[in-house]
Structure 1
Amino acid sequence: MPRVFIGALDAGTTSTRFIIFDDAGRPYATHQIEFEQHYPHAGWHEQYPYEIIKCANDCIEGAVKKFVADGYNVSDIKAVGITNQRESTVVWDSETGKPLYNAIAWPDTRTARLVHHFKNKNGAEDLVRICGLPLSTYPSALKLVWLLENVHGVQEARKRGTLMFGTVDTWLVYNLTGGGKTGTDTRFVTDTTNASRTMFLNINSLKYDDFLLDFFGVSQGVRLPDVVCSADDKAYGNIASGVLAGVPIASCLGDQSAALVGQRAFSVGMGKNTYGTGLFLLYNTGEEPVFSKNGLLTTVGYHFKGKKPIYALEGSIAVGGAAVKFLRDNLRLISFSDEVGQLAAKVPDAGGVIFVTAFSGLFAPYWIDDTQGTIYGITNYTTKEHIARATIEATCYQTRAVLEAMAKDSGYELKTLKVDGGMSNSDICMQIQSDIIGIDVVRPEYRETTALGAAIAAGFAVGVYSSFEELKRVNTDGETTFKPSITEKKREKLYNLWQRAVSRCGGWLRDEDDDSEIEEETRVGDGTQKQFA
């Protein structure tokens, strides 16, 4: 039988890639582009909406070109799946299709003041029960509130009734299916996994909730995308132009949900940890949402058309690979990201250094907004090797804190931790992780499980797969298992030192320290004027 192929567009926080998989989950062609990040003020993190689209189109073109050069036909690609950075917020005008401000990326903390304001608002105590998320700078809701309060163009579009809001998945699908141009079947949709990260979706009904919309003041004048299943052969339409014109978009999942699918965590009690720009540990809780009492998020794991939604508990850690990027780009301690592991391996421990990488505050399970990055334990003995190791250890300590919270909420302790993402490529990082959590860490040979998950979901939507049983052998060859190699006594000593550092880092930021005064040119978002051919 002719081989079937599925494309996966993975629009991450710092780079975009397009990967073409066969029906056995093997990659045949890939093209990746790293795109620019913008930090106009301390705590602000923006991206150009046009660049997000340009990178997507360029990656599709590049991968398909390689695919065809290897002797395959474009017609062999039956569908495309999309996975994306979550919570990042885009606003645009329905009449022109043009963005009204730069995309505000998920780690952005400009809304810290709004968090405190809304926490004191009547009804705040009910939010987690309704949407599964606590008030923080992380979800999309307060990013939209900030835009409505501060950007003149957004305010005017709201008055005209032309203001469109979406996360990155919505912006991608909207543009890939025509961008609102006459004669195109443009889709304005989002899937349940992404919608569950906005704070606008009722986590039980999976529909927009009137109370939530009223609470955040967005019930009038803001056009929200239709919420559809993560895997659906009709909802996302077809690609309108380019080398894949006419190919259906058959799935869309937030990146961490896609990784859950890519790790084939289809049974209750299965989980994974993705080491990307941030770290995200998801744990399958089945067909009913579980509400955490220990600082975790309740989210949609995945939702395939014709099946019940699957929920997950999530521990979101804001800074993972971003800390390595900080060592490379800001401090210039390393020239390439891979060097952090090489440096860390030169010392037996961090020499007493603890790096609390709270660049965007601390997320799960701590949820400390009033802190920033802090390094403890620096002495004359400290070297860049110690700092490199402390940077890796910070991700591993936070993973342990999330695992402990999940065990309390679920009553079940993971026996092994499945891992993927960029930092999982480092053997020393994964060995340190195993040492700190005290269980086996299992790494697949192919680690782009986020893209693989989008492809698997699209395959289900168009009938390439009909059951999870068919995926048992996907991406299982060449697994590596890392086993704990330190004593329990040493493990607890190290972790207690981390916890002590966390307990001391809160309370650093105060309202009078806020630097939110912005010039008029910043208000209108000069970056969105950048045009791409």
Structure 2
Amino acid sequence: MSVLAIDAGTTGVTALLVNEEGAVVSRGYEEFAQHFPRPGWVEHAPESIWQATLAACRTALASAADVPVCVGITNQRETAVLWDRRTLAAPRRAIVWQDRRTAGICEELRPHEARVSELTGLRLDPYFTATKFTWLARHEPDLWSRVAAGETALGTVDSYLVARMTAGARHVTDPSNASRTLLYGLRSGTWEPELCELFGVPRQALPEIQPNYGLFGHTEPEAFLGLRVPITGMAGDQQAALFGQTCFQPGDVKCTYGTGSFILVNTGSEPVRSDAGLLTTVAWQAPSGELTYALEGSIFVTGAAVQWLRDGLGLIGSAPESQAVAGTVPDSGGVVFVPALTGLGAPHWDPQARGLISGITRGTTRAHLVRATLEAIAFEVRDVAEVMPRISVLKADGGASANDLLMQIQADQLGVAVERPVVQETTALGAAFLAGLGHGVWASTEQLRKTWQLDRRFEPGDRDDAAYERWRHAVRLASTHS
């Protein structure tokens, strides 16, 4: 018996088949194109995401011994997607969470920020979905008229995928994704009319919100690879990773090292507010209606900085090569890199900040710059950890967690152990766990906890606080707030 997990990420789609022991038995992956129509703008073609989903699932299922009993979905969050309710065709490209075009709208609405934060646990930043919808209403009125008329649906990537998989029968989302839109009330657990009015979003165009595990709908065979399978779990990628890391107790914390890095700590049944740049968000909701909350530090560029070294500068041939290159020098030689390539996220929150490299001398080599990039990732995570409840152990996952040097630098900088699991694709694993709970593959979270296996534990060593102070100074120089 297996569960199909779909992880629709920012640069590609991963599909995993997970068995009852929580082991990955097969996988598929398919990239899709990134579009940058203007500086600071990032878009994805929804049809490309859908075709990548089909391709990744086709690959994962090719070697399957049997048909999966259920499907779970996890996704890049905050990305604004529109599609025709009848044809399911997208009238324009999706506006991605990394997109900065709505910075001006955020400034315009700044007088409302205290109220928005009170209701949502978030802040006014281009990161979140609602301002993207506001921008579309202002700049593409013909398109928006079809939204107002009920012909075009609004959603995030999760709800778009469910619409495609069910041939348009279902328009649904879950609380973890809804809580990232600036339209969902943390206390009310639903779309807030006050927020819909503020951002000019028709409430009837938004999806129905359902608990994170339970029946979301069935795939239609003609739409989804000839399969009729229940969709029984769904969560935004970072909450899914928290679930996949079995962080079920208050105080449990994980960091996912992907395109960006996201540190989440389970805060239990009460939303905990932060005045230090952290976000209060829904982790997941049980079918009983009970909500679990999390505090989150969202860092926009970490793994993407390594990709930039590869694709933009040509300093490395592949992301894994960064470990070997950086390992040829004992430190960064005084080079500091602030990878604010799409602004700064937590705890600084400066959408106008731009990347900065300092400390270059005639003796600087590519190895120093690559090492400075790995150090920057660890420093960014430490920035967030400094304003979080005290961390005793950090569970690490995501693609860059395979980098042993990075994980050791991270343990040193945090002063706590970093634990990496055997299955590092915990975002997709969390989707599988949620779907399996929703379908009865697993009976409880306690049963799921027993499937978690340690790959390696990195113990903290000497901490280079001088390098961290150089980093903090460089961040102030990169920030428009300084």
| TM-score bin, normalised by smaller chain | over 0.9
* Residue 480 of structure 1 pairs with residue 456 of structure 2: yes
Check conservation: 2:350, 2:481, Cα contact below 8 A.
no
Q: For residue 471 of structure 2, what is the amino acid of its counterpart?
A: W
Trace 1:270-309 onto structure 2 (pairs within 5 A). 270-309=252-291
User: Secondary structure, in 3 states, of the residue corresponding to 2:216?
Assistant: coil
Trace 1:253-332 onto structure 2 (pairs within 5 A). 253-332=235-314
Farther-moved stretch of structure 1 (57-66 vs 165-174): 57-66
Q: Indicate which of 125, 128, 132 corresponds to 1:139.
A: 128
Q: For residue 322 of structure 1, what is the amino acid of its counterpart?
A: A
Trace 1:80-119 onto structure 2 (pairs within 5 A). 80-119=71-110
User: Residues of 2 paired with 1:119 and 1:216: CA distance?
Assistant: 12
1:199 aligned residue: 182
1:35 aligned residue: 32
Farther-moved stretch of structure 1 (148-157 vs 279-288): 148-157
Q: What is the aligned-residue identity percentage?
A: 40
Q: For residue 338 of structure 2, what is the amino acid of its counterpart?
A: V
Check conservation: 1:430, 1:441, Cα contact below 8 A.
yes
The RMSD of aligned alpha carbons is 1.5
User: Residues of 2 paired with 1:155 and 1:472: CA distance?
Assistant: 45
User: Residues of 1 paired with 2:287 and 2:220: CA distance?
Assistant: 20
Check conservation: 1:290, 1:312, Cα contact below 8 A.
yes
User: Residues of 2 paired with 1:132 and 1:43: CA distance?
Assistant: 25
1:65 aligned residue: 62
User: Residues of 1 paired with 2:86 and 2:449: CA distance?
Assistant: 47
Check conservation: 2:394, 2:416, Cα contact below 8 A.
yes
Q: TM-score, normalised by structure 1?
A: 0.88
User: Secondary structure, in 3 states, of the residue corresponding to 1:142?
Assistant: helix
User: Residues of 2 paired with 1:331 and 1:147: CA distance?
Assistant: 34
Deviation at 1:379, TM superposition (A): 1.7
Deviation at 1:205, TM superposition (A): 1.4
Deviation at 1:158, TM superposition (A): 3.2
Check conservation: 1:210, 1:219, Cα contact below 8 A.
no
User: Secondary structure, in 3 states, of the residue corresponding to 2:159?
Assistant: helix
User: Residues of 2 paired with 1:350 and 1:304: CA distance?
Assistant: 46
* Residue 445 of structure 1 pairs with residue 422 of structure 2: yes
* Residue 176 of structure 1 pairs with residue 165 of structure 2: yes
User: Residues of 1 paired with 2:46 and 2:341: CA distance?
Assistant: 23
Deviation at 1:472, TM superposition (A): 2.7
Give the 3 Å change call, closer, same or farther, for CA 508–414 of structure 1 in structure 2: closer
Corresponding residue pairs, total: 481
Give the 3 Å change call, closer, same or farther, for CA 105–136 of structure 1 in structure 2: same
User: Residues of 2 paired with 1:269 and 1:236: CA distance?
Assistant: 33
Check conservation: 1:392, 1:429, Cα contact below 8 A.
yes
Check conservation: 2:246, 2:452, Cα contact below 8 A.
no
User: Residues of 2 paired with 1:158 and 1:90: CA distance?
Assistant: 12
User: Residues of 2 paired with 1:450 and 1:130: CA distance?
Assistant: 27
Q: For residue 138 of structure 1, what is the amino acid of its counterpart?
A: Y
1:217 aligned residue: 200
Q: TM-score, normalised by structure 2?
A: 0.97
Farther-moved stretch of structure 1 (158-167 vs 51-60): 158-167
User: Secondary structure, in 3 states, of the residue corresponding to 1:235?
Assistant: strand
* Residue 237 of structure 1 pairs with residue 214 of structure 2: no
Which structure 2 residue ranges, 5 or more long, are not aligned?
Answer: none
User: Residues of 2 paired with 1:505 and 1:339: CA distance?
Assistant: 27
Farther-moved stretch of structure 1 (110-119 vs 414-423): 110-119
Q: Indicate which of 115, 126, 151 corresponds to 1:162.
A: 151
Deviation at 1:239, TM superposition (A): 4.0
Check conservation: 1:189, 1:236, Cα contact below 8 A.
no
Give the 3 Å change call, closer, same or farther, for CA 468–211 of structure 1 in structure 2: same
1:523 aligned residue: none
Give the 3 Å change call, closer, same or farther, for CA 124–226 of structure 1 in structure 2: same
